[in-house]
Structure 1
């Protein structure tokens, strides 16, 4: 089973802005980004997808639709693949958020909801519930999943049996790809490529 997680390309948002669940525009045309991704994936010898899944947010879905057209495969979106919802912090500058609220979040990283959106625990539960169902469907692979860095890290932590907090430190560039493979015999997962 091969799964390729693809982070959306750069967005047209100033650096330092929190935009987790917000639907923000891409910096470049989705077709341009999709063409560049297709070339990179071919260079990495990633198998072509049978299906392309995506977060419904424009920065992901527009690129996924263009990739699906390029590969001639099925395409669908799923709300479970959205980035974490940061509530009242959405579209605010990180350095403009009340320091006391950020400290409260840091003190109870998994459970706090200082912003009124999702807690990390709720976000992880959402993504893992989706992934538990998805990985039972072998006919959907190879699959490309165009999503967000947070979702990618939760899936990686899940398949590798690692704490999510550990994977949060692993960098994923805009348009970065994470290729995961499950051995059909042992059922063990491995990372083929990280941030390729």
Structure 2
């Protein structure tokens, strides 16, 4: 299981340009322990150059501890965060080589970026000012934290608490072992995103994997952009996996572009094949195929008319994809972009609920849900049908 680090970095210039320095700290996200510090006086430079150099120093310090680690960078520099996330172009020639150097420290996909207010970045700011003060005295800044150690003086500042249910769970224990009585390591978290609206969505028509494979509507693209902004602000997503159907791939691609990640396709996440019911409303199916519909509602093993897929069959392939994704992304937070039935199925399986529970959940277009999977095989539902980001 890959280790996780938080890197907090900052830089400053007393004059902009003027005497400048940077500071960076590597923190343990579970305990808040300071694992390494870096700071340096760099002579005359701008704020932005100092901030980038702080980022590079923080990433290098994290890499020295574990080059395979997953790193969450937190800085109060909007410029650096947006440029490194790929949302802003790097126009200044002095910034381009620094950004390239920062990207070279870890392979793509191992680093995420989050903007934080300045008051939450006091540790790195203090280090940057210590470095500038040392430079003013003609001295070199000296670290107080040995690599992998703890602060030799004051206790470390803990990272700011997560502000929503999409952040990694604070407890690392499964509910089955006494609400925190056993440490099972960080859970694997699935943030489940239903795709944005298509032309069929407002008409409530059956739209599975055996139909026309519709694209997002204009409203659906707007919804995907809104959820991308919300997820970028939270800064917790480390990987993206999507259903192969176009409405999901379009949604995933919009989010991936905003987060600076790639979206990986998983065939097992496709929607149910609704057979002859594809494109029809519930009322139309009830009128044309009343007996088949009644059987489908009564049993998870019954399939829609015309060679459709039963919920039992969907559950088998979704569970297989779930297990593969948990193994591949152990201890990480993964955005899973999929459809109504796969999301409801994952929730049902996590809760140990009966098949009929699928008909008792509401999932809006572009809604978010979240499940945490623990090392002992247990799971917990942390969020269902969250839509506040769409308002």
Q: TM-score range by the shorter chain?
A: 0.7 to 0.9
Report 1:20-99 matches (<5 A). Answer: 20-21=208-209, 22=211, 23-28=213-218, 32-41=222-231, 45=234, 47-97=235-285, 98=288, 99=290
The unaligned stretches of length 5 or more in structure 1 are none
Corresponding residue for residue 372 of structure 2: 181
Q: 1:113 aligned to 2:303?
A: yes
Cα deviations by residue, 1:136-187 (Å, 9 ceiling, x for unpaired):
2235821101110110011112222222322431111111100122345x55
The unaligned stretches of length 5 or more in structure 2 are 1-187, 387-391
Q: Is the 8 A contact 1:6 1:177 kept in 2?
A: yes
The CA deviation at 1:24 is 1.1
Q: 1:10 aligned to 2:201?
A: no
Greater per-residue strand proportion: 2
Corresponding residue for residue 100 of structure 1: 291
1:195 is matched with which residue: 385, 388, 391?
385
1: CA distance, partners of 2:378 / 2:304: 37
SS in 2 for 1:9: coil
Q: 1:160 aligned to 2:351?
A: yes
Corresponding residue for residue 142 of structure 1: 333
The aligned length equals: 192
- C-alpha RMSD of matched pairs (Å): 2.2
Change over 3 Å in CA distance of 1:35–1:152 after alignment to 2: same
Q: Is the 8 A contact 1:49 1:73 kept in 2?
A: no
SS in 2 for 1:49: coil
The CA deviation at 1:104 is 2.9
Change over 3 Å in CA distance of 1:30–1:71 after alignment to 2: farther
Q: Is the 8 A contact 1:20 1:84 kept in 2?
A: yes
Corresponding residue for residue 321 of structure 2: 130
Q: Is the 8 A contact 1:30 1:62 kept in 2?
A: no
**TM norm structure 1:** 0.86
SS in 1 for 2:240: strand
Change over 3 Å in CA distance of 1:141–1:74 after alignment to 2: farther
2: CA distance, partners of 1:129 / 1:136: 11
2: CA distance, partners of 1:95 / 1:53: 33
Q: Is the 8 A contact 1:3 1:143 kept in 2?
A: yes
The CA deviation at 1:79 is 1.7
2: CA distance, partners of 1:148 / 1:95: 21
The CA deviation at 1:18 is 1.3
1: CA distance, partners of 2:225 / 2:309: 34
